[in-house]
Chain A
Amino acid sequence: MDVLYGIPIIGLFVQFVAYIVQIGPNIAPIMLAISVPLAFGALCGIMNERSGVVNIGIEGMMLMSAFFGFVAAGFAAGSVDFDTSGPFGVTPPILLGVAVAVGVAVLLSLLHAWLSITIRTDQIISGTIINIAALGLTGYLNRIFISPNPRLGAGTFQTWRPPDWLTDLPAVGWVFNMFLKQGPIAMSLIVFVIVVQVLLFRSRWGLRTRAVGEHPRAADTLGISVLALRYRNVILGGVFAGLAGAFLTLEQTGSFQNGMTAGRGFIALACVIFGRWTPIGAFGAALLFAGADAFGRTVGLIPPTGELAGLGEVLGAVPDQFYGVLPYVITIIVLAGAVGRSVPPAAVGRPYVKEGQET
């Protein structure tokens, strides 16, 4: 290997690959965890866009769910004493928090559906309203409810510890580690991705959804209620946005900060496009973003040393902030490269008006 590492430039690349292989198994569970809000956000985007509705308000929905889930769980934990906790560290307050988070996102989705489907407001404006309202309202309520109660919080779900014999398996052990050393919301993600993928392409609902997103008039002619289906899908999408928000405060961090979604709702939209509007594709894209993110966080903690010192020098010379913006830069690159090559549902962004009911 030393010979390979010594080649200029190409050697660095080989070192890079070796470094990824070296740290890969360790950062795989972190990577999956980082991908969870992105992938749930992308599922929300797919539910919306497949039926012809643009939803750029996912960011705001996540933020509101993260906030209200956290506050609900926190106040529940503060007012009643629960010392029983089930598997995953499940406590009633945390469950309540998740329910509230999902409920809030569903309400916001209902607003988005009403604005963009019923009264046919511009869909991007509708999403922007949700984003701005979320930033403002959570900032305001944070000051009123969280700031005076610094001890507020109900803790988080615990990650499961898979048995050692499973994770120690040669070659594939780290995969088990990646998917199983997780909390319940992260684990549910994989189930949801597969279920939505199968339903979207193998069920009556999926066929109707795709028809409504591609050619609503034709679907209408066949007796499918375009508006009702869009409503249902936008609201179901809200459930996923709510889980994404709940994950941030009730599984990953256990605290709330203003603007903590940090653009994840928008990166999720890039995942939708990059994944060609399929759940599995979008999950793959989310893993790519999460991989870049996890890599950036790891370089500072476990820099390449020893044989890989050459690479360590190069990576060490790159400022920290660069690694921090990797997901954003990749989002732009992916969008610039993928748009046009992946074809969106034809009716995306267009409100549907029944023939003869145009105003």
Chain B
Amino acid sequence: MRPREWLRSAMAAATVPVLAVVLGLVAGAAVMVISNSLSTGVTDVGLPLRAYGSLLAGSLSGLDEVVRTVSEATPLILAGLSVGIGFKAGLFNIGANGQFLMGALAAAGAGAAVSGWSPLLAIPAALGAGMLAGAAYGFIPGALKAWTGAHEVVTTIMLNFIAAALIAFLVTGPLATAGASFARTGDVGNAALPLIIGRPGGTGHLGILLAVVAVPLAYLLLFRSVLGFEMRTVGANPSAALYAGMRPARLIILTMALSGLLAGTAGAGQVLGISHSISASYSTSVGFDAITIALLGRSHPIGIFFSALLFGLMRAGSALMQIRERVPVEIIDVIQAVILLFLAADIIVRTVFRIRAPGSGVAEELETVTRTYGGAA
């Protein structure tokens, strides 16, 4: 495709997502004003502007802030790719949260065990442990679906809760470090990812590069490899894939394991790059953000990259917004839900902005997901 054509099709694909984000911000503003006037009795129309202003100040106003934005986006890129690759293959991985947690747990455990090794060995060992744990945790729902028909939407959610309990158990027991004031794993020491940008003690760790590299890799896998072609075929039409001689069961398992590997990498990166240990109550919402990000990016690696940056920006700036304007950080979750709503019901967006051009639904790949819900492939 020529560059100009490519640009045109990219813009056409981005229209609805961008407008959905705009509407999401408007709805977030409305929620701020209304809830503020209900709880304080004062109707403050300027509040959303100031809140969004401090959101931007907290995420873009200097190098530190930009580094924080990028490092917040890092796990979101990886987890977004995790969910997006699943979508392409007709699988709905709501379990990125659990896979992230398993990646974090394994990286923390392995990292503490090899903390004395040379970084050249310790980092690959801890990172690899996290990636493998994530992949194994993605393998489970994949195998359950392929072999028994148990739908991944329910099994992955259950596995999320199980992962949290496993962390609580291992971190209070076998993996607990001695002498800490609360239950946590030992420091990962030499397995910590080195800083590559920003101030010392900041969050500009090597894992950022990992996420950036994952984007073209995912693109190559999905659109330039046989495996990717097979995955997309199974996602679009499982019976056609079967007749063409592909093996849907194998592809389902492989896709879920790969999806888990990406989410596990995200978890390992957070631990080895930022927190360096985990507590018994370690938790995340990355997996849910990742669903929005994958849909917003239309399951395309490049779209996911930019969507993840947007959410990284909101997550990075929300703390300053809460401090300055007393708008709870949870407003980001509300905005996220509204964006999702407008993506799914793009008919609203099209009506509001009078878009006539026909477009494909954002969630088109998902037809397979819902069709297999009852257990029939």
Residues of A participating in the B interface, judged by any CB pair closer than 8 Å: 54, 56, 115, 119, 121-126, 128-129, 132-133, 135-137, 139-145, 148, 262-263, 266-267, 269-270, 273, 319, 321-322, 324-325, 328-329, 331-332, 335-337, 339-340, 343-345, 348-350
* CB neighbours of B160 from chain A (8 A): 263
Stretch at the interface among B45-53, B254-262, B298-306, B330-338: B330-338
Q: CB-CB < 8 A to A339: which residues of B?
A: 148-151, 375
Nearest CB in chain B to that of A325: its residue = B165
Q: Which of B36, B158, B340, B344 has the most CB of A within 10 A?
A: B158
Q: Would you call A135 and B373 a contact (CB within 8 A)? A: no
Distance, CA A323 to CA B39, complexed state (A): 40
Partner of A129, one of B31, B340, B373, B375: B340
Q: List 10 A-B contacts (CB under 8 A).
A: A125-B344, A132-B291, A133-B337, A133-B341, A262-B161, A332-B155, A332-B158, A336-B148, A337-B148, A349-B371
Contact of A132 among B39, B92, B173, B337 (CB under 8 A): B337
Complex Cα spacing A267 to B155, Å? 10
In whole Å, how far is A53's beta carbon from the nearest beta carbon of chain B? 10
Segment among B60-68, B102-110, B176-184, B362-370 that sits at the interface with chain A: B362-370
A332 touches B144 (CB 8 A): yes
- Please tell me which one of the listed residues A123, A135, A328, A340 contacts residue B370 in the complex, with CB atoms under 8 A apart: A123
Q: Is B241 at the interface (CB under 8 A from chain A)?
A: no
| Chain B residues in 8 Å Cβ range of A124 | 92, 153, 366, 369-370, 373
Q: How far is the CA of A344 from the CA of B165 in the complex (A)?
A: 32
Enumerate chain A residues within 8 angstroms of B341, measured Cβ to Cβ. Answer: 129, 133
List 9 A-B pairs, minimum CB-CB distance, nearest first: A136-B333, A344-B374, A133-B337, A140-B330, A335-B150, A143-B328, A339-B375, A139-B330, A349-B370
Known A140-B328, A267-B158; further 15 A-B contacts with Cβ < 8 A:
A124-B369, A125-B295, A125-B340, A128-B94, A136-B332, A136-B333, A139-B330, A144-B36, A263-B158, A266-B154, A321-B168, A329-B162, A332-B150, A344-B376, A350-B371
- Known contacts A137-B334, A321-B165; is A56 also within 8 Å of B144 by CB? no
Closest A residue to B342 by beta carbon equals A129
- B16-31 CB mask vs A (1 if < 8 Å, else 0) is 0000000000000001
Closest Cβ of chain B to A54, distance in Å, is: 5
Which residues does chain B contribute within 8 Å of A349, judged by CB atoms?
370-371, 373-374
User: Is B35 in the interface zone, CB < 8 Å from A?
Assistant: yes
CB–CB B144/A336 < 8 A = yes
Contacts of B331 in A (CB 8 A): 140
Q: Enumerate B116-164 residues with CB–CB distance to A below 8 Å.
A: 144, 147-151, 153-155, 157-162
Does B7 touch A at the CB level, under 8 Å? no
* Known contacts A132-B292, A136-B330, A266-B154, A121 near B173 by CB under 8 Å: no
* Range class of the B interface residue count: 35 or more
Known: A321-B168, A339-B148. A140 touches B31 (CB 8 A): yes
Bound complex: CA of A96 vs CA of B301, how far in Å?
Answer: 48
* A335 near B369: Cβ-Cβ < 8 Å: no
Inter-chain contacts of B288 with A (CB < 8 A): 132, 135
Contacts of A148 in B (CB 8 A): 39
What CA separation (Å) do A216 and B260 show in the bound complex? Answer: 38
Q: Are A128 and B375 in contact (CB under 8 A)?
A: no
A269 touches B35 (CB 8 A): no
Q: Given the complex of chains A and B, what is the CA–CA distance between A328 and B169 in angstroms? A: 16
Measured CB to CB, the nearest residue on chain A to B376 is: A344
> Which A-chain residue is minimally distant from B161 (CB atoms)?
A328
CB-defined contacts of A348 to chain B, threshold 8 Å: 373-374
- Please pick, from A140, A319, A325, the residue contacting B162 in the complex, using a CB distance under 8 A: A325
- By the criterion CB–CB under 8 Å, are B161 and A263 in contact? yes
Q: For the complex, what is the distance from the CA of A84 to the CA of B331, rounded to whole Å?
A: 39
Q: Which residue of B lies closest to A145 (CB)?
A: B39
Nearest residue, chain A, Cβ from B332: A136
Task: Tell me the dominant secondary structure on chain A's binding face.
Answer: helix
- B224, chain A: closest CB distance, angstroms: 27
B166 near A: Cβ within 8 Å?
yes
| Complex alpha-carbon distance, A141 and B165, angstroms | 27
Q: Does B345 count as interface, using CB distance less than 8 angstroms?
A: yes
User: What separation, in Å, do the CA atoms of A321 and B165 have in the docked complex?
Assistant: 6
Identify A340's interface contact among B31, B361, B366, B375, CB under 8 A. B375
Q: Find out whether the CB atom of B344 lies under 8 angstroms from the CB atom of A129.
A: yes
- In whole angstroms, how far apart are the Cα atoms of A54 and B38 in the complex? 35
Closest Cβ–Cβ distance, residue B174 to chain A (whole Å):
10
Query: B149, A54: Cβ atoms under 8 Å?
Result: no
- Bound-complex Cα distance A180 to B290 (A): 45
Contacting residues of chain B (160-214) with chain A, CB-CB under 8 angstroms: 160-162, 165-166, 168-169, 173
Tell me the bound Cα distance from A184 to B347 in angstroms: 43
- On chain B, the residues within 8 Å of A56 by CB distance are 153-154
**Nearest-neighbor residue (CB-CB) of A349 within chain B:** B370
**Chain B positions within 8 Å of A144 at CB level:** 35-36, 38-39, 328
User: CA A273 – CA B149 in complex, angstroms?
Assistant: 12
The answer to whether B334 and A140 have CB atoms under 8 Å apart is: yes
A71 CB to nearest B CB, Å: 11
**In the complex, what's the smallest C-beta–C-beta distance from A137 to chain B, in angstroms?**
5
Return the chain B residue nearest A335 by Cβ. Answer: B150
- Smallest Cβ distance from B150 to chain A, in angstroms? 4
Chain B residue numbers with a CB within 8 Å of A266 are 153-154, 157-158
Closest to A133 in B: B337
Cα distance A267–B154 when bound, in Å?
8
* Cβ-defined partner of A332 (8 Å) among B159, B168, B169: B159
- CA gap between A344 and B333 in the complex, in Å: 34
Residues of chain B within 8 A (CB-CB) of A125 are 295, 340, 344, 363, 366
Residues of A within 8 A of B38 (CB): 144-145
A135 to B333, CA, bound (A): 8
Whole-angstrom distance between the alpha carbons of A263 and B156 in the complex?
11
B337 with A143: CB separation less than 8 A:
no
- Are B150 and A132 in touch, CB under 8 angstroms? no
Q: Are B39 and A340 in contact (CB under 8 A)?
A: no
Please indicate the chain B residues that have their CB under 8 angstroms from the CB of A343 in the complex.
Answer: 374
Interface centre among A54, A144, A266 (most CB of B within 10 A): A144
Q: Is the CB of A136 within 8 A of B337?
A: yes
Q: Which of B147, B291, B370 contacts A54 (CB 8 A)?
A: B370
Chain B, 285-296, contact with A by CB distance < 8 Å: what is the 0/1 string? 000100110010
User: Considering the chains assembled together, what is the distance between the CA atoms of A141 and B337 in angstroms?
Assistant: 14
Residue of A nearest to B148 (CB): A336
Residues of B near A319 (CB, < 8 A) are 169, 173
Which of chain B's residues has its CB closest to A60's CB?
B337
Residues of B within 8 A of A331 (CB): 154-155, 158
Chain A's closest residue to B150 (CB) is A335
